Structures are given as C-alpha cells and as structure tokens.
Amino acid sequence: MTDPSSPTKRATCAACLRAQSACICHWVRPLSSRAGLLILQHPLEVRNAKNSARLLHLCLAGSRLEVGEAFAPGQLAALLGADGRTPLLLYPDTPPSPAAPAPLPPPRPEDVTLVVLDATWRKSRKMLHLNPLLQSLPRLALHDVAPSAYRIRKAHAAHQLSTLEAAALALARIEGDPGRYEPLLAAFDGFVQQLAAHDPYLAKGS
C-alpha cells in the first residue's frame, strides 16, 4: 500500500527521459545516415533540460549514446571500433600531439563513425584529457558556420553550436549532402521553442 504522505514521483518518458508533461518525443524525426554516429555524453548532461543529444540520438537510426566522463580504455576502444569504421572526432582545431594522425577522414561516409562529445566546452576538454584514445583520433573541425539557433543556452561565441546542430552539420559535410539533415534541424527548432514556451527563464538563454 502506498503511503499517502510520501512525495509523488513524476511520470517519466522512457524514451526521452523527461517528465511526461515535458516529453519531446513528438519532435523526433527518424532519419538514417551513411556515416555512423557515436555520442559520448557527460553525466551532467543526462538530465539537463536544455540538452539536445537525446533528441539527436532518438532521431538518428543506428546512433549510439554512451554516458561517462572517463571511459575504461578497453570499453572506449570497443565503442570506437564498432562496425569496423574509422572514428572521426568532431572537435575544434587544437595543437596536435606528436602521436595524433593528420585530421583527414576516410573517403567514403560508410567508412566513418563521427564521434561527438556532448558536454560543455570545459567538460569536453576534461573528457579529452581523461581519455587519451580520443586525443589520438583524426578530427573534423567546423569552420564558417552560421550562428546557432540554440537561444536557450548561452555560448561564448555565435558559432558555438548545440550538439545536435554540430552533429547534423558535420554529417552533412561528411556525406556531401547539405539538405539531408534539414528535418533534424527543424525538429531542433521545435524543441527549442517548446522549452522556451514552458520556461521563460530558459527563453533568456540563462
């Protein structure tokens, strides 16, 4: 028998992990990609209302989302080597280490797994530091991108994108198909509008 004095737990959507009243599953637009996608999500982002990685994962068939900050080397190697594809890290240009290979992706999208770190910039740098295997990966850096539509979350610069926006743009460039991920970006816009409408504090980009 339930104790009537105990606090009531809010019903949660098993797919998007949000409260049923704030479910974002109606924004899911199923898409397939020629390249693979591996999202490494920092634990602090899992329950963050502003986080876009879950929507990205739900939309993109075959994508993988793993939560952690410091991964066991064997576990990370298995994730990066899944499907026999070459991992390509989506990350800004930084001075390469002597062991880092040239940041050139394999020629065919089907041979690539795009690896995305879902974290704040500070936390992503820490994830990179704690996982030397990530440091050794060839990189894809996005340049000359349009300003982000992620108005619910502050960025240090206009070109800094949400996880979903960055992944969509990177996949489009890898696959040479600029319009393929427009439905994903449209879903993201609806997601942002929903959050802003339900929480004026988020609408200010705080």
Where does residue 107 rank: exposed (0-12), middle (13-18), buried (19+ CB within 10 A)?
Answer: exposed
Virtual torsion, Cα 92, 66, 169, 140, nearest 10 deg = 30
Q: What is the pLDDT of residue 88?
A: 95
Q: Do the beta carbons of residue 82 and residue 109 sit within 8 Å? A: no
Q: What pLDDT, in 10s, does the model give residues 47-96?
A: 888 889 999 999 999 999 999 999 999 999 999 998 899 999 999 876 55
Distance, CA of 134 to CA of 78 (rounded, Å):
12
| From 23-37, 113-127, 144-158, the region with the lowest mean pLDDT | 144-158
pLDDT of 46 higher than 90: yes
Name the strand (E) or helix (H) holding 205.
none
Q: Say if CB 12 and CB 20 are below 8 A apart.
A: yes
Paired residues of 113 in beta bridges: 36, 87
Whole-number average pLDDT of the chain? 83
pLDDT at res. 157:
45
Beta strands in 132-183 (DSSP E): 139-140
Burial 148-168 (b: 16+ CB within 10 A, else e): bebbbbeeeeeebbbbbbbbb
Instruction: For residue 102, give Cα distances in angstroms to 81, 90, 174, 181.
Output: 18, 14, 16, 27
Report which of residues 18 and 98 the model is more confident about: 18
- Give residue 200's pLDDT band: very low, low, confident or very high (50, 70, 90): low
Q: What is the mean pLDDT of residues 180-205?
A: 80
- Whether 97 has a pLDDT exceeding 90, the answer reads no
CA atoms within 13 A on the CB side of 125: 5
